[in-house]
Amino acid sequence: EPEVTQTPSHQVTQMGQEVILRCVPISNHLYFYWYRQILGQKVEFLVSFYNNEISEKSEIFDDQFSVERPDGSNFTLKIRSTKLEDSAMYFCASSPPVSGNTIYFGEGSWLTVV
């Protein structure tokens, strides 16, 4: 069964460093997302991406964050200058191009900022 894949599975980085989290969405999907889950808390929406542009973003997704689809298969989340509070599990997700369809999540990337 097709799945969303994410790399790395775990990354430790120093505060202030830039981090890029990578995702390969399911191949025929057109909507892509990043969510995050701080340890012990709810899963929070960060950003949705469609047709090579951001379609919606949350308050969390400030100027430190950016997303890119550099080629036909990858979808990346960049955090420019990491803070301690960016430590979380980051989930990439994708869905088919029809409203109200299942959103499929990857296994996540644990980011620990020290």
The footprint of other proteins (CB under 8 A) covers 31, 33, 35, 41-45, 48, 50, 55-56, 89, 91, 93, 95, 99-108, 110
Strand partners, 61: none
For residues 38 and 81, which CB has a smaller minimum distance to other proteins in the complex?
38
Least Å distance, CB 18 to other proteins, is 24
For residue 33, give the nearest of 69, 1, 8 by alpha carbon: 69
Least Å distance, CB 31 to other proteins, is 5
Cα–Cα distances in angstroms (integers) from residue 52 to residues 12, 13, 42, 106, in the given order: 29, 28, 28, 20
**103 and 94 Cβ atoms separated by less than 8 Å:** yes
Least Å distance, CB 99 to other proteins, is 5
